[in-house]
Structure 1
Amino acid sequence: MKRALDVVQAMITGQSVNLSVLSGHLPGKSSLEAKKRRAERAFRDEQLTCELFLSLMLPLLPPGKLLFSLDRTTWEHGSSPLNLLVLGVVLHGYTLPLVWTALPHDGNSSTDVRLELVQRLLKSLPARRWKGLVADREFTLGAWFAFLRQQRIKRAIRIRKGRRRGRSAHERVVR
């Protein structure tokens, strides 16, 4: 638990989830390489579930409304890439991951996977705490927008150039 807390604090202090950056913000007098290995072990620890990570992060979040970001990323995990869908909170210009899911394939996530991810976060951070959600253009389907409207979550979704801005593809500026 102490190792996970140290890594969480390093993420906040270093404003990054990059292991090389995190290692410089971990406590102790070990070498940067030893600290990097410690951070890697924390992320590989099977006890550090997404739910435990979220429970560690919640007390550290500022009060009031929060801006969230949804994105897909690929992390190197040994010799095979790990395709992740990540939902995080935007703090001081960087996104701190709160919940994530590994996608069993390359490419975009399905609407159902996105809905499940947002619903997981809504259990801990109700929609009244959401200032809004920002995401890339890969997240623009009617059912997805309908769900966000139903939850009363404002959104700012980048849309493809030249795409007609219909009602279901409306971009809202999060204020």
Structure 2
Amino acid sequence: MNLSLKKCLISILQAMIVSWSVNILKLASEFASSADVASVVRRIERFLYRGLVKQHEAARSIIDALPENGRFILTMDGTSWQLGKFKYYVLAVGICFNGISLPICFTFLPAHDITSFVEEIGIMERVVSLIGHGRIECLLADREFGNSNFIKWLQISHIRYCLRLRENLFMRKEGQKKGRKLREVLSSLKLGESVVLHDVWLM
């Protein structure tokens, strides 16, 4: 990068820290420049369009900046984005640090509401190649990632996981024929309370 591009990158990073956002309009408002916001937005867009910072290089920089001997709690999440006329689903895996998740891998998928286990396994394989199995403490993910094939892959890969479940999910103890909804099983809990189900439950 030449000096102008380096200064632009530094200003983007500083604006992200100040605004606590990746919204280009918010970044432009906090940009270290006397130019008007519309001009700064175009400058940021031109910088991003160049694709100067590769995803794996950015991920490596994040990982190298974190404590060397630490184990990582990972997050997996997805969100729908619209870029002009095009709609995308962004699947991302991040590292938990100081109350936020730092994205290290993400992929753009055709617009839909749910991912396949192939896509979920694919992005996790990229994460493992970056940080290794040994540094993964566990994976946290939302209800949409409860695919049985993905869970089997996590188990085979010896990656601990904590996935949210839908409250209307039917579950039963192993050996019993009748199932109950999760909200019924946990109906005695008050807000903020928790319980560990030690038996084997089938869902």
Question: How far apart are 1:59 and its partner, in Å?
Answer: 1.9
Match of 1:61?
Answer: 66
Whichever of the two has the greater Rg, that structure is: 2
Please identify, of 123-132 and 39-48, the stretch whose mean Cα deviation from structure 2 is larger: 39-48
Spell out, residue by residue over 1:61-80, the C-alpha distance to the aligned partner (whole angstroms, 9 max, x if none).
33301221111112221222
- Let me know the Cα RMSD of the aligned residues: 2.8
Identify which of 89, 112, 129 aligns with 2:95: 89
Alignment check: 8 A CA contact 2:79 2:89 kept: yes
Identify which of 107, 126, 135 aligns with 1:129: 135
Local SS of the residue matching 2:167: coil
What residue identity is the alignment partner of 1:45?
Answer: R
Alignment check: 8 A CA contact 1:5 1:56 kept: no
Please identify, of 149-158 and 29-38, the stretch whose mean Cα deviation from structure 2 is larger: 29-38
Alignment check: 8 A CA contact 2:87 2:110 kept: no
Percent identity, aligned pairs only, is: 26
What residue identity is the alignment partner of 2:125?
Answer: Q
Alignment of 1:2-151 (within 5 A): 2=6, 3-4=8-9, 7-8=12-13, 10-11=15-16, 14-23=19-28, 26-27=31-32, 30-63=35-68, 64-151=70-157
Gaps of 5+ in 2: 174-195, 197-203
Q: How many angstroms apart in 2 are the aligned matches of 1:30 and 1:58?
A: 34
When the two structures are superposed, what TM-score results if normalisation uses the length of structure 2?
0.68
Local SS of the residue matching 2:145: coil
When the two structures are superposed, what TM-score results if normalisation uses the length of structure 1?
0.77
What residue identity is the alignment partner of 2:127?
Answer: L
Flag the 1:162–1:149 CA change in 2: closer, same or farther, 3 A: same
Local SS of the residue matching 2:67: coil
Local SS of the residue matching 2:102: strand
Question: How far apart are 1:31 and its partner, in Å?
Answer: 4.8
Flag the 1:115–1:60 CA change in 2: closer, same or farther, 3 A: same
Match of 1:170?
Answer: none
Question: How far apart are 1:92 and its partner, in Å?
Answer: 2.1
Question: How far apart are 1:12 and its partner, in Å?
Answer: 5.4
Q: How many angstroms apart in 1 are the aligned matches of 2:37 and 2:67?
A: 30
Identify which of 147, 160, 164 aligns with 2:166: 160
